[in-house]
Structure 1
């Protein structure tokens, strides 16, 4: 039985649907939504679903926008994935004409889809920064160039942006006509391939550094949000502790008063018991005297 069917049979939401929802959730709301969904799965007795939900990592702002695009524009996304397959096939076959046409289409589609991703993010209430927008474009170019990247984006659950391989070159243009040869004053310098490789490596490192900085910023914001939640919980606990201590103090005061009142009542009872014994003794003496007086009167009546 699949995880999707198992979750449905137990009456809970499909865990894959929950994960899709999480990765389309704005990053600032991700942690609280994840905790809520994991708790619901755990309460429903779906421990494995709860574990999978807790294991979900918060996406960067750019990865979230790419997920929104994949989930919110399925038809355009499907055509984009097909374009990537065609472009990679043209590269494998070294079809210059097809490469030229597909590469031009690639630039237009990447630009259009990145704008759609930014629009979806804006509709969700979170505008993309220029750096995040560039990372979305980098992710889309990686999807076209790399089948593994295409598979990751197709799942709609990216955690970070993707980088296209450096060897996925642009489509070659038509061959230039040979120039008339004339003797130059000096021989032209050959193309500096080493400098080109260094430039590519620098660009890759720069893109990686920007991505790392964006992810670090997202983690910092997440830690700040968690710290703020913890501080709020601490303040609530402190307030509750103060209230509880106040109730304890009131209870101790009432207990002391009750003990003092019980002591007074005990003393009153002892006094009353002592008075009752004294009155009882007096009553017994009076009764004895009364009986003696009656007997004396009776004797006098008989002797008269």
Structure 2
């Protein structure tokens, strides 16, 4: 009995054939089957013609940015496993925007090769990219470059990959086993630890900002206190000068008052003498 062809050999031929525009596929497949030995040729002959949407997604995987979507897929699935609603909502929004952008890119790449992607096929392209983002097995299938029909993710169930590829199924086409309870507990614990660390860092930053604000206020208060202290010292010196001047003025007043008292006494004595002299003069005049 002839030995069946190795899957790698068949898959390599399939990748080459599925890189051709769909309109060229059948003729190229038949020619390649005829040129191969009988066992391999029979397998090549059975390779199905790809749907336009499937071919466009394979093209995107080869020449576009489909890898970006598949990187997002890992984070999205982890958020689902951990039941992190906020992260899931954020990643879901990113996924929808990325899927739409990649679908547009796939249609543009197909158009450059003369293949029109109609409205229905465009919708299938979006569904297929979304399925690859949502499901690891679907992502592995898409990245083989041998997709023959569109894929679709329904909820969080595994994507149906039956007859989705030309050639063998990739090693990662089987759905991964669900995470164990220990794995989920570890992921949740890690998420909680990361959240606690972020909150602690935010609290630390806020405390440092508050400390900086208080230190700024303290510096201004110290400057004002120093200025007032200097002014107070100046005022104390001035008060001391005023007290000395006041004491000198009081002493001057006392001295002048004593002089006035002495002058008043002299004036009274002189007035008495003058009065006596006037009286004496009047007596002599009367004689």
TM-score, with normalisation over the residues of structure 2? 0.49
TM-score, with normalisation over the residues of structure 1? 0.47
Q: Which has the larger radius of gyration?
A: 2
